[in-house]
């Protein structure tokens, strides 16, 4: 088995911070969006998709370096406030001690992934096993990134389990032919994750059992 982790929202608690910031910045450009609307439109999608959509709605190109400035502002916020998703370290400890392979497959770019994993102390756990939408032609909801991750890790698709918290991510995992577990502890509506084809779980402590990994004796509380 290979557990393919999305990053934002399942390993690191970035989404609350980022979607709030994005709503403010996009509204300031002249397209008023609430945080919930940002979640619905952009969470789990790549920067490429988001900038194209913003430009289409504004009817003009984004100001020069707008995305760079937004990224810098979000990195500053991460350095101040970012934490790992509650309970995820214990799950990773458990998977590691059970000999279960893991990797990351995220819509974020490699620089950003390196930063958020470093800030939250998770970087070493995934060293050399981080895959980004930058590595493939089409990001989520297309299956390319998950298929790429499986191939790079040398594990057949049928043995991969995806952990996701966004609708495009769940759709991508399903399109790749993988089992998808949808984390309902994030910002996406649970019904959307379920409709997209994932098995829902509410807390990280429930994940080992869903993966068939014995949780006894490692301090996991169901």
Closer to Mg ion by CB, 90 or 108: give it: 108
Contact residue for Mg ion among 2, 3, 8, 147 (CB under 5 A): 8
**Smallest gap, in angstroms, from Cβ of residue 7 to Mg ion?**
7
Q: Please list every residue from 23 through 52 that binds Mg ion, using CB under 5 A.
A: 44
User: Which two tokens mark 201?
Assistant: 């779980």
**x/- site string to Mg ion, residues 54 to 93, per CB under 5 A?**
----------------------------------------
**x/- site string to Mg ion, residues 165 to 194, per CB under 5 A?**
xx----------------------------
Whether 8 sits among the annotated catalytic residues: the reply is yes
Closer to Mg ion by CB, 162 or 213: give it: 162
Closer to Mg ion by CB, 44 or 143: give it: 44
Euclidean distance between CA atoms 7 and 106, whole angstroms = 6
Annotated catalytic sites, by residue? 6, 8
Question: What residues line the site for Mg ion (CB under 5 A)?
Answer: 6, 8-9, 44, 165-166
């Amino acid at each position: 088995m290979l557990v393919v982790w999305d990053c934002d929202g399942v390993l690191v608690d970035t989404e609350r911070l980022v979607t709030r910031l994005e709503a403010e910045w996009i509204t300031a450009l002249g397209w008023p969006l609430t945080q919930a609307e940002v979640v619905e439109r952009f969470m789990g999608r790549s920067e490429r998709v988001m900038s194209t959509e913003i430009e289409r709605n504004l009817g003009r190109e984004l100001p020069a370096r707008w995305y760079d400035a937004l990224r810098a502002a979000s990195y500053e916020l991460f350095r101040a406030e970012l934490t790992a998703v509650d309970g995820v370290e214990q799950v990773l400890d458990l998977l590691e001690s059970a000999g279960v392979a893991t990797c990351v497959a995220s819509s974020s770019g490699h620089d950003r992934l390196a930063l958020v994993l470093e800030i939250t102390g998770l970087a070493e756990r995934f060293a050399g096993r981080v895959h980004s939408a930058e590595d493939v032609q089409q990001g989520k909801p297309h299956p390319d990134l998950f298929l790429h991750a499986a191939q790079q890790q040398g594990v057949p698709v049928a043995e991969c389990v995806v952990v996701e918290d966004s609708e495009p991510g769940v759709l991508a995992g399903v399109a790749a032919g993988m089992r998808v577990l949808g984390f309902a502890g994030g910002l996406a509506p649970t019904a959307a994750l379920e409709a997209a084809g994932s098995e829902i779980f509410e807390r990280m402590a429930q994940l080992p059992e869903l993966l068939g990994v014995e949780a006894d004796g490692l301090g996991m509380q169901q």
